[in-house]
A and B are shown apart, each in its own frame.
Chain A
């Protein structure tokens, strides 16, 4: 086993705790997402979703969830751009779609991944 493989093996032991935290985060983010199905979201709601995306983006890839990490990063940037409220800001439907993509991937990871 190479040194890098040994390090990866130790890092993968953290996956169960990541998945547990992700599951809790997903529950909270889904509640927030449901709150603006019919009405435009409050800025605070988007901020909280952005924070959840930010935290996910920082840890998903090293633990083997590269796609989730990328979607979370895109979601964070999309919300940032929307909240900037300038001429180049994306429309809300694009932001919503990005959030849904991230939540979908989160659900997939939580459902399909089992603790080591």
Chain B
């Protein structure tokens, strides 16, 4: 794996270099500024497979460098590890929002760093496989003739929406917060009702567009809170939100607001056929002082909450609640 490490402290770069070399990573390049990093990235004919970035550097910091790297061709999915002594939550939030895929605090534990880089190496290998390359919206748009279906269960990447990061990055973000042991946030899940029908009805690009629109609607209504969110597959989204924000103290209000935003978008297929997309929100779950895998489990329970709410609403709908079978069918036809 070809790695670029950026830190203005040469001792850190030496530590990193020795650790990575020892772990078998033979192709490690080190530079001491964001500008040098940008120059070398532009110059290299063979792209880097992974970046290790310090945050606090003179002139251009690691977070701005991360954002810049994400805008470059070939680097939208490349693992970016922030390796920094900045353990304050605001830096962690900013790093992941900028596109970082993992965050390791200094002084780093050598074995932990090596483990995380091995994970990055596996991710990198998977993302290079041909069938997974359709995750990028751009690649998909360029392959309009490609009839390959996206698996509904696959947590495809949603790009261009504020606060949205990949699911694995969200898990890593949560692990970082948990290690700090001093954060109190909530996880909340959202589920598109009858995602299977929507998935079947849409082309791959249309489906990703709908997911991006729904993500944008959620993001718009969470923007006054500190949050990050991911698409988890099967029409489900999950967000980690500042637990003291107003949004979560009035969950029904938030759910209705997001639904209203989606309605105003007037979603449709490329041929103009209107789409009715109904979103359900699960009960928020406090992260509290949970740590490690316990915190990540809460994330998945939040997704499960949203799925259960979705099923409960469907069950309520389909058992009648006073509706006749004819009215149920009529409603379904109108909805499609």
Contact = CB atoms under 8 A, between A and B. Distances in A.
Interface of A: 4, 6-7, 10-11, 13-14, 17-18, 21, 51, 54-55, 57-63, 69, 73, 76, 80
Interface in B295-310: none
Interface string B92-125: 0000000000000011101100000000000000
B85 A58 contact: yes
A60 B22 contact: no
Given A14-B18, A51-B56, A54-B56, A7 B110 contact: yes
Contacts of A4: 110-111
Interface residues of B, number: 19
B56 A21 contact: no
Contact of B106 (A6, A17, A59): A59
Given A6-B22, A7-B110, A10-B22, A59 B15 contact: yes
A69 B107 contact: yes
A4 B84 CA distance: 22
A57 B106 contact: yes
Given A14-B15, A57-B106, A62-B110, 6 more contacts: A7-B22, A7-B110, A11-B110, A17-B14, A61-B107, A62-B15
Main secondary structure of the interface of A (DSSP, over half): helix
B9 interface: yes
A73 to B, nearest CB: 7
B26 to A, nearest CB: 15
Contact of B11 (A10, A21, A54): A21
21 contacts: A10-B18, A10-B22, A11-B15, A11-B19, A13-B18, A14-B14, A17-B11, A17-B14, A18-B11, A21-B11, A51-B56, A54-B86, A55-B9, A57-B85, A57-B107, A58-B12, A59-B12, A62-B15, A62-B107, A63-B11, A73-B85
A36 to B, nearest CB: 23
Contacts of A80: 88
Given A18-B11, A55-B9, A58-B85, A11 B107 contact: no
A7 to B, nearest CB: 5
B19 A7 contact: yes
B10 interface: yes
Given A17-B10, A55-B9, A60 B107 contact: yes
Nearest to B21: A10
Contacts of B108: 62
A17 B106 CA distance: 18
B22 A58 contact: no
Nearest to B8: A55
A53 to B, nearest CB: 9
Contacts of B10: 17, 21
